[in-house]
């Protein structure tokens, strides 16, 4: 999970999907992780992440300088932080989803109807991104003072995902 309110150096580690970083982090979390098993691109990425302080190396082991949760810890965190808010907003979320679903159904050509779930996912995802943007610009999200402060305001990895 990454909430980045500005242009921080960490962004250079993420391709469009963030896959290379996620894959590398997943490998480093493995109990049998060995640096020598990485390919050259992964070793370069690992070196850059260590140089930039996102990871550290101690006794030939990688130390993560951000939160790493188990699936159970991640679920407990979500439940504690978001469950109540989600429950309060569930009706509104369902109403928005229903409107987006109708919009997609009405505008997707019939011969592409098998894409409905994908289209709906993309529209809902984009609405989520836009909502975050509006919240940021409306002053509802923290506004970092400088480039260094805007880094990883919330970055955590769930082991095994």
Query: 151 in a domain, yes or no?
Result: no
Query: 25 in a domain, yes or no?
Result: yes
User: Each residue of 108-124: pLDDT tens digit?
Assistant: 898 998 888 888 888 87
Query: 154 in a domain, yes or no?
Result: no
Number of domains in the chain: 2
User: Each residue of 28-61: pLDDT tens digit?
Assistant: 988 889 999 999 989 988 998 898 788 899 887 8
| 56 and 112 together in one domain | no
| 106 and 125 together in one domain | yes
| 76 and 63 together in one domain | no
Range of the domain at 81: 71-143
Contact 20, 41 (CB under 8 A): yes
| 98 and 139 together in one domain | yes
| 75 and 123 together in one domain | yes
Query: 157 in a domain, yes or no?
Result: no
Query: 159 in a domain, yes or no?
Result: no
H or E element in which residue 123 lies: helix 116-137
Concatenate the DSSP letters of all residues of 64-97 into one string: ESSEEE-HHHHHHHHHHHHHHHHHHHHHHHHHHH
pLDDT of 39: 92
The overall pTM is greater than 0.85: no
What's the token pair of residue 77?
A: 């965190």
């Amino acid at each position: 999970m990454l909430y980045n309110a500005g242009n921080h150096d960490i962004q250079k580690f993420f391709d469009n999907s963030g896959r290379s970083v996620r894959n590398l982090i997943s490998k480093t979390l493995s109990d049998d992780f060995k640096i020598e098993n990485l390919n050259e691109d992964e070793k370069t990425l690992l070196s850059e992440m260590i140089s930039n302080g996102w990871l550290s190396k101690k006794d030939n082991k990688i130390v993560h300088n951000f939160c790493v949760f188990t699936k159970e810890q991640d679920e407990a965190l979500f439940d504690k932080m978001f469950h109540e808010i989600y429950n309060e907003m569930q009706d509104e979320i369902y109403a928005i989803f229903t409107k987006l679903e109708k919009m997609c159904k009405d505008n997707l050509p019939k011969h592409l109807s098998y894409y409905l779930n994908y289209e709906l996912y993309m529209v809902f995802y984009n609405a989520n991104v836009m909502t975050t943007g509006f919240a940021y610009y409306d002053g509802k999200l923290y506004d970092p003072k400088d480039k260094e402060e805007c880094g990883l305001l919330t970055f955590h990895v769930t082991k095994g995902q």
